[in-house]
Amino acid sequence: MVRPTSVDILDTTLRDGLQIEKAIVPTDVKVTLAEKLIGAGLKQIEVGSFVNPKKVPQMADTDELLRRLAPHEADGVEFYTLVFNLKGAQRAVDAGAKNIKLVLSASEGHSKANSDASIAEASDRLMDAAIFARDQGLRFDITTAVSFICPFDGITEADHLVEVLRPFVDAGAHGIGVADTIGNANPSLVRRNTSAVLEAFPDKPVNLHLHDTYNFGMANVIAALDLGIANFDAAMGGLGGCPFAPGAAGNIGTDDLVHLLHREGVATGVDVEALTEVRDPLIDAVGHNLTSSLSDIPATPAVFDGLFAPASAKA
């Protein structure tokens, strides 16, 4: 498999990055953060999720945020929201969403913790949302949580992962997301399960959503690049985590990911100087320091110019 020469980054700071924060970040501040990310060249932004605001109050303003950011769509920016059921899909339509991500657990233990339902029950509920969204003209992706390893059930088998995804691909999913929800996957496991998904659904773009609990995040990015993966999620400063997955730490940092990709000769379209300008207002918003590697040192991500690319990639 040939490595991609460019990668699309979906920045999840406003959703995954903020969903477990104690602070409820005001909508005005979220808009400012989003516009700084857009100003840095990020064209895909995950702005929130349509979930019960009593359970995840940090996401209660997702509809308003979508509406306020909609003018940026004219400049080619795509906004994404997470949806877990039909009601969430209806709210997304009402808010003017164009792209949604449906999330389904790939293990029974996480499904029970995350949605209080078995995989089969959660899948049936989510299929109602998928069909509604499709019929309303929305583009939907299907993402599986704990795609590699689950805090309750252990290793996720590759063939099982494929079968969890299959009904939604058959229903018209645009793309597929595989998530290392607790950040405990290693490169070998990423290669095994991601390869199975690529082989089962060769016509679908696959997105990798990685957390960095055990510092395997960047190693897993390299493993995915070698499979030809050209779509990654990341959150600025390494913020984030799943409130229903014990032990889950933050996402891989958008700043760390850009730095790695540029050093590997992979273009991102990101202005690295502008990206660093997101850090201080983000720290102010959450009230604590960030955790990405670059947030702890006086350095900026590498500027992409191809100089660091392996000789074989330049040929």
Task: Specify which residues 182 forms β-bridges with.
Answer: none
Which residues, at least 6 apart from 122, have a Cβ–Cβ distance to it below 8 Å?
Answer: 104, 105, 111, 115
- Whether 150 is a known active-site residue: answer no
Report residue 174: phi and psi, to 5°.
-70, -45
Catalytic member of 242, 257, 260, 270: 242
Which residues, at least 6 apart from 31, have a Cβ–Cβ distance to it below 8 Å?
Answer: 65, 68, 69
Of 13, 245, 214, nearest to 107 by C-alpha is: 245
Positions annotated as catalytic residues are: 242
